[in-house]
Chain A
Amino acid sequence: MKQKKLLDKFTLDVLLNRLSCELIENHFDFQNSVLIGLQPRGIFVLSKLVKKLKDKYLIPNLKYGKLDTTFFRDDFRSKKEQPKASFSNINFDIENKRVVLIDDVLYTGRSIRAALIAIESYGRPTKIELLTLINRRFTRHLPIQPDYVGLNVDTLQNDRVNVNLQGSNIEDAVYILKDDDETNFS
């Protein structure tokens, strides 16, 4: 596998700032809106955005939570090994709220389908939107499209997109990984 850096720390920061502004444009003071990060990796994007909205744009009383979709997936018995379930943590009412689902990479759209069903268990939102840091185009299995996109990328089926936002020793960055026999990065 060969890898190419799609976004470095600086461009990621610019991009997260833009996404925060787009969210504010549509949700103003977030009094009637909530942010929901999808487990496992959507929560890293969520925490970055929450930090920006709170510290930089001074949004008070921001409501946000985590949603795990493991038990709502349609492929749990066709995989060799089961994905490990994570915690959901939504301790507020989402009835009649505007929900923004947040994930790191939008690929086939199947996790989002699972999330749309999972979120129903907590109530009926007036509207659900989707924010994704990376949108892999032309790879969808379902008619699902994002409302807010950090970066659109065109990828082949075997490519992988890795988002490092864990906040550990690794620098924040986004990589694209390709098989060795198709190393022709454009």
Chain B
Amino acid sequence: MMKQISVNNLLGIKYLSRDDINLIFETADNFKEILRRKIKKVPTLKGITVANLFFENSTRTKLSFELAEKRLSADIINFTKTGSSISKGETLIDTVNNILAMKVDMIIIRHPSPGAAEFLTRNTNSCIINAGDGTHEHPTQGLLDTYSINEKLGSVNNKRVLILGDILHSRVALSNIFALKLLGAKIKVCGPKSLIPKFIQNLDVKYESNLEKGLVWCDAVNILRVQNERMNETYFPSLREYHNLYGIKLSSIKNLRKEILILHPGPINRGVEITSEVLDNKKTIVLDQVENGVAIRMAVLYLLASKASGISNYN
């Protein structure tokens, strides 16, 4: 059986179809098996060069992409904003074109401006994967969260997912909503009203202001970080009040009638959106998410690499 992904670049989940997501998940299943072998490497992307351009800080995503590329035998170069010529005033397009001139085939980009990845596809001739653009999308995170829920609950269809926290500044929220919706999940968002974007109703997502009610309703809760670095004004009185109203504590899950999945894309602010008690008692699937992240990114790289027209002919 032959199948192909419908896009040439991965800019956001919003451009993907349900079939694409299922294909990515099936391919990730295969890579997950490979990652459990003695030798966790395949020669699939031999001869392809991937540039990881991180204009914003990252630990998990960067390491995860890097590892995925290495497991697929790609050659990689890394670029971070600090210590680069960005501080001398070079523009994004010039930086990228200079990197492409070094015969790079694929670009992974994280950038603080929404639309940065899409901007690159219009102005360069390369295969682009968005690793987070401002408050817009973070497609691989959306995919790996949905994949983890699918893995743990057996399916996503008709499952109830609560997305909790700072929705307004979160690219993870948006990618999660698109991915979960495509696979038929029911979604509610929860958090201080000031951190819920106005457009949320247009996405057919309901708002729940009461965390307790939200937790009773859901099968899985995805906890998002309070993004202090993106807040230019005050959205809630204090972190302590945020924690009291919207933080996940042992007491808030103890009395639930059923066990719920607890996800967090990281990085975690312990004691704010979730307590150490919940985290350290292994009530969450945070580390499963990280493990799945590598397999999902390998799948995305593999599926796009074989389509990319810009890639030098391998024969």
A interface residues with partner B (beta carbon < 8 Å): 68, 70-72, 76-79, 81-89, 117-118, 120-123
Contacts and interface: CB of A to CB of B under 8 A. Distances in A.
Which has the most chain B C-beta neighbours within 10 Å: A70, A71, A72, A118? A71
Contact of B29 (A78, A87, A117, A121): A87
A55 to B, nearest CB: 29
* Leading 7 A-B pairs by shortest Cβ distance: A81-B2, A71-B42, A121-B39, A85-B30, A71-B44, A84-B1, A121-B37
15 contacts: A70-B30, A76-B44, A77-B314, A78-B314, A81-B2, A81-B4, A85-B30, A86-B30, A87-B33, A88-B30, A117-B43, A121-B40, A121-B41, A122-B37, A123-B38
Interface of B: 1-4, 26-27, 29-31, 33-34, 37-44, 72, 302-303, 305-306, 311, 313-315
A182 to B, nearest CB: 27
B314 A85 contact: no
B215 to A, nearest CB: 36
A71 B2 contact: no
Contacts of A121: 34, 37-42
A72 B314 contact: no
A65 B236 CA distance: 57
B177 to A, nearest CB: 28
Nearest to B4: A81
A68 B1 CA distance: 14
A78 B315 contact: yes
A23 B29 CA distance: 33
Contact of A82 (B40, B72, B306): B306
Contact of A85 (B27, B43, B311, B315): B27
B34 to A, nearest CB: 7
A15 to B, nearest CB: 28
A72 B30 contact: no
B30 A82 contact: no
Nearest to A68: B30
A71 B302 contact: yes
B138 to A, nearest CB: 25
A121 B2 CA distance: 25
A84 B2 contact: yes
Given A78-B313, A84-B26, A88-B33, 17 more contacts: A71-B30, A71-B43, A71-B302, A72-B42, A78-B314, A79-B306, A81-B4, A82-B4, A83-B1, A83-B2, A85-B26, A87-B29, A87-B33, A120-B39, A121-B38, A121-B41, A122-B37
Nearest to A118: B42
A69 B240 CA distance: 54
A76 B43 contact: no
A84 B23 CA distance: 9
A117 B34 CA distance: 13
A37 to B, nearest CB: 16
A81 B2 CA distance: 6
A72 B34 contact: no
Contacts of B31: 71
Contacts of B44: 71-72, 76
A82 B314 contact: no
A123 B37 CA distance: 9
Contacts of B37: 121-122
B223 to A, nearest CB: 33
